[in-house]
Chain A
Amino acid sequence: MSTAITAPKQSKEPGAKPRRKKPSKVAAGSLSAMYPVAFMVIVFAVWWGVTSAGIAPAYILPSPADTWAAMTDNAAYLAQHTWVTTWETLIGFAIAIVVGIAVAVAMVYNKTMERTFYPIILFAQVVPKIAIAPLFIVWLGFGPQPKILVAVLMAFFPIVIAGISGLRAVDPEALELTSIMGSSRWKVFTKVRFPAALPELLGGLKVAATLAVTGAVVGEFVGANAGLGYVILQANGNIDTAMLFAALIIMSLMGVLLFMILDVVERLSIPWHASHRNKDA
């Protein structure tokens, strides 16, 4: 990117070099976006072809047009429920971030904490969330709380794991250096340890974000009167496959969007990291 911007400044040269460089960069950029777009076009074409040829009846596979119609006709209804799931996801994700990082820090700084928490965390991760979700409904009712809790549980694990290995990834000599500088533990954490952990932590957050969406919907499956999980159950009951598809697509877009937001956050917060340096080389 930076070379593309600075290229015109070097126009003292015959111009061949910058001119050659610039289009190749642009082409490479649009090309990388072209692959998924092309893939989606093909998927839609096959989808459209299969349904319009009458191979599959509409209650098994609705056509793209039917799905689009289900979306636009019920825009208000879908927006309302999307909003509910979005909130559950975001609140669950936020709680998972705070608790996940706190637990990771506690476990890295304290051996006893590690020995105590690690088995519990692993146990909580291994238990299928869909199996304990009904219990949460019994405990917390039909409101958003049990959904948020499932989202937290799903998102928590990758954050803790990434946090722990990130905090351990710090250069030992950088730590020795801070001991000579007489730094307080807080300063060492904020200025050295935490920034060093960011690359791994952000990787964990990306995984966790998509899991938070899944968690919220799983929570809704078990007992809800709002949210995309509820919409899917309703549509399923009515054999309204078009609506079901519409809800699924919205759900996927939500996960992708959250992932992309975190990708931008990653680019902005750790531009120094090798994973970004090599990207446009």
Chain B
Amino acid sequence: MSVTVEEREPATMTDTALVDVENVGITFQTRKNTVEALREVDLKVNQGDFVALVGPSGCGKSTLLRSMAGIIQPTTGTVSLRGEEIEGPRQDVGFVFQRPALLPWRDVQRNIMLQAEMRGMDKNQAKARCEELLELTSLTGFKKSLPHELSGGMQQRAALCRALLHSPEILLMDEPFGALDALTREHLNSELQKLWNSTNMTVVLVTHSVAEAVYLATRVVVMGSRPGHIIEEFDVDLPRERDYEATMADPEFHRVAHGVRELLGGAHGNH
């Protein structure tokens, strides 16, 4: 793995991966038919990695991400965390769903604090952390607003704050910025980049944007559909700390982006 961390070389890198998806197949049984969402998926995520999952709609990205959080159990194969097989929902992860999934009766602050209440975290510490995160996502002025008073993008930012409140080691995000305008998206991408760079956090991000994937990730995983499987993985040989403009101009960025787009076909050409 080409994780470009010089100063910090965790021992786990060569031993067991942080998240180890081994030969996973997931089949959904609905009333009418069976859907094979994933087949023979192998993926290792190491401590400190930033993995981006890209692929056409319905190829099982959300399903794969859910299985990493233990929300879905694989039909075949195993998902392990630090060498231990996942048997139920994991509490040491932060999860951002494709939809914000905020509680409509709680204002932004109390939605974020739900995380603290459920986990029994120290209230004052959690409050302070909440303020930090609101600041980071430019939501400070809206902490007393109810979800229906916010735009879709603001709701998604609130959901991101909620996922980060307990400072999880692993952050799993399902198209968190899909509903945002380009500028806000760029801004949040930079913030996420800094956040990941300044912490030891491991991130798995599902996205439809090839540019976003390559800018943020240390590894881009391209998936195909029918049934969902991994086509190829690209290591992104860029420094850990990335400036937006400079990265966009870097030949390595274009090499990977081009490779990914090639696999995905023309559909993603203009992202």
Chain A residues in the interface with B (C-beta under 8 A): 171, 173-174, 176-183, 187-188, 191-192, 195-196, 198, 270, 272-274, 277
B89 at the interface (CB under 8 A from A): yes
B13 at the interface (CB under 8 A from A): no
Interface string of B92-104 (1 = CB under 8 A from A): 0101010101011
Q: Is the CB of B89 within 8 A of A180?
A: yes
Main secondary structure of the interface of B (DSSP, over half): loop
Q: B152 to chain A: closest CB distance in Å? A: 15
Inter-chain CA distance A198–B90, complex, in Å, is: 29
Q: Is the CB of A181 within 8 A of B71?
A: no
B210 at the interface (CB under 8 A from A): no
Which B residues, 117 to 144, have Cβ-Cβ distances below 8 Å to chain A?
Answer: 117-119
Q: Is the CB of B105 within 8 A of A270?
A: yes
Q: Is the CB of A174 within 8 A of B90?
A: no
- Within the complex, which residue of B88, B91, B101, B118 is in contact with A173, where a contact is CB–CB below 8 Å? B101
Q: Residue on A with the closest CB to B88? A: A179
A/B interface sample: 30 pairs, CB < 8 A: A171-B101, A173-B97, A173-B99, A176-B66, A176-B71, A176-B97, A177-B101, A179-B88, A179-B89, A180-B89, A180-B91, A180-B93, A180-B95, A181-B91, A181-B115, A182-B89, A187-B118, A188-B118, A191-B114, A191-B117, A192-B103, A195-B103, A196-B103, A198-B105, A272-B104, A272-B146, A272-B148, A273-B105, A274-B148, A277-B148
Q: A144 to chain B: closest CB distance in Å? A: 38
Inter-chain CA distance A220–B97, complex, in Å, is: 56
Q: Is the CB of A177 within 8 A of B95?
A: yes
- Within the complex, which residue of B99, B103, B118 is in contact with A181, where a contact is CB–CB below 8 Å? B118
B69 at the interface (CB under 8 A from A): yes
Q: Is the CB of A180 within 8 A of B71?
A: yes
Residues of A near B105 (CB, < 8 A) are 195, 198, 270, 272-273
Inter-chain CA distance A168–B97, complex, in Å, is: 20
Residues of B near A171 (CB, < 8 A) are 101
Q: B179 to chain A: closest CB distance in Å? A: 15
Residues of A near B88 (CB, < 8 A) are 179
Q: Is the CB of A174 within 8 A of B71?
A: no
Q: Residue on B with the closest CB to A179? A: B89
Q: Is the CB of A187 within 8 A of B117?
A: yes
Q: Residue on A with the closest CB to B107? A: A272
Q: B67 to chain A: closest CB distance in Å? A: 12
Q: Residue on A with the closest CB to B165? A: A181
Inter-chain CA distance A270–B148, complex, in Å, is: 13
Q: Residue on B with the closest CB to A177? A: B101
Inter-chain CA distance A256–B247, complex, in Å, is: 68
Residues of B near A181 (CB, < 8 A) are 91, 114-115, 118-119
Q: B107 to chain A: closest CB distance in Å? A: 9
Q: Is the CB of B104 within 8 A of A183?
A: no
Q: Is the CB of B69 within 8 A of A180?
A: yes
Residues of B near A272 (CB, < 8 A) are 104-105, 146, 148
Q: A208 to chain B: closest CB distance in Å? A: 22
- Within the complex, which residue of B69, B93, B99, B118 is in contact with A183, where a contact is CB–CB below 8 Å? B118
Inter-chain CA distance A176–B70, complex, in Å, is: 10
Q: Residue on A with the closest CB to B116? A: A181
Residues of B near A274 (CB, < 8 A) are 148
Instruction: Given A180-B71, A181-B115, A195-B105, output 10 extra A-B contacts at Cβ < 8 Å.
Output: A176-B66, A176-B71, A179-B88, A179-B89, A182-B89, A182-B119, A187-B118, A198-B105, A270-B105, A273-B104
Residues of A near B91 (CB, < 8 A) are 180-182
Which B residues, 50 to 77, have Cβ-Cβ distances below 8 Å to chain A?
Answer: 66, 69, 71
Interface string of B229-258 (1 = CB under 8 A from A): 000000000000000000000000000000
Inter-chain CA distance A239–B30, complex, in Å, is: 65
Inter-chain CA distance A187–B105, complex, in Å, is: 16
Of B90, B114, B117, chain A has the most CB atoms within 10 Å of the CB of: B114
- Within the complex, which residue of A179, A195, A198, A277 is in contact with B71, where a contact is CB–CB below 8 Å? A179
Q: Residue on B with the closest CB to A274? A: B148
Q: Is the CB of A180 within 8 A of B90?
A: yes
Residues of B near A273 (CB, < 8 A) are 104-105
Residues of A near B97 (CB, < 8 A) are 173, 176-177
Q: Is the CB of A182 within 8 A of B99?
A: no
Residues of B near A192 (CB, < 8 A) are 103
Q: Ordered nearest first, which 4 A-B pairs have the shortest CB separation?
A: A182-B91, A181-B118, A179-B89, A183-B118
Of A173, A177, A272, chain B has the most CB atoms within 10 Å of the CB of: A177
Q: A235 to chain B: closest CB distance in Å? A: 48
Q: Is the CB of B118 within 8 A of A178?
A: yes
Of A181, A272, A273, A277, chain B has the most CB atoms within 10 Å of the CB of: A181
Residues of B near A270 (CB, < 8 A) are 105
Residues of A near B104 (CB, < 8 A) are 272-273
